[in-house]
Amino acid sequence: MFQSKIAGIGYYVPKNVYSNNDLKRFMDTSDEWIQERTGIKERRYADRLEETTTTMGIEAAKVAIERAGTTAEEIDFIIFATLSPDYYFPGCGVLLQREMGMKEVGALDIRNQCSGFVYALSVADQFIKTGMYKNILVVGSEKHSFALDYSTRGRAVSVIFGDGAGAVVLQSTTEAGKGILSTHLHADGADAEKLAMYYPGASGGKWLDNKPQWPEQELGGMLMTAEMLEDGTAFPYMDGQTVFKKAVVKFPEVIQEALLKNDLRTTDIDMLVPHQANLRISQFVQKTLGLPDEKVFNNIQRYGNTTAASVPIALCEAWEEGKIKAGDLVCLAAFGAGFTWGSALIRW
């Protein structure tokens, strides 16, 4: 059985920078309020008319493919993770395939929100290990800015998210102890509605008491109404306290699971790259694990939460800055809506 390695990595963020003070034009907020709760100072927003989730993913993919020493024509499988696709269907994977002029290879879309990239990496790892594919492009890309509630009512969610994309090319390696050592995936749908966007969807709304709640609408549950925009149900919902409490437990658990699987300890980690959900969560996890600042990489201050794109963007920046070197033990971890969470342990 082969081992898989990250042969190339790249990222892309839009040029439009929106600081916390810029958001004051739309809502009652302040730089101090946002930083205190999230650690975020600014985020990037894609050009509304010219950039999409797919186009940003393409830009990140181009860099990753070049750094891997391969070409788009040699990619033999695509995995695209996002919660903000260009279309409700088809997925972004086939759009990227078309625009990059790739062969008629398989394209798989992953819908695991903030855990999307870790899930996608795990799937790609299995394909490489079995020898089914040799060059897999894994992309995490998000365009949140087009679907957020920029009123004071929605500020608890809208100030957190930003746009961007990250990508890696996975290839096989025969070097013992190199590449992806293991991945670990989990989910628990008990609190699915605590972090969700209810529309569009076949149920047309929330599930209560294990039953979908259908709005009283003449045309059925898929109809978007003015009332949904007015009361905020058309926008993403998050119970921040519930998410925080669950994340700070599951993050350390899944990291320790990966270390135990490989007979390693926390002190063996050279770099932890957590999903950039909230700087307070990352700091809590860092303290729980007893890791020094130089072993944890955070960039949420500059980009906000880019969900499926956050791990590859942060991983790429850490590598570009020389904070990840050959032979380093790198741990990736994520927690997000679903709830879903996962980790990957990599010998760089």
57 SS3 class = helix
Choosing from 275, 278, 299, 316, the catalytic residue is: 275
Nearest to 342 by CA among 238, 187, 190, 194: 187
* 296 secondary structure, DSSP code: B
37: Cβ contacts below 8 Å, ≥ 6 apart: 278, 280
Active site (annotated) includes residue 275: yes
Active site (annotated) includes residue 184: no
33: Cβ contacts below 8 Å, ≥ 6 apart: none
Between CA 38 and CA 337 the distance in angstroms is 17
Choosing from 20, 112, 278, 305, the catalytic residue is: 305
Choosing from 114, 144, 184, 299, the catalytic residue is: 114
Active site (annotated) includes residue 298: no
281: left (phi over 0), alpha (psi -120 to 50) or beta: alpha
Encoding tokens for residue 74? 């040699």
Between CA 348 and CA 345 the distance in angstroms is 9
Q: Active-site positions? A: 114, 275, 305
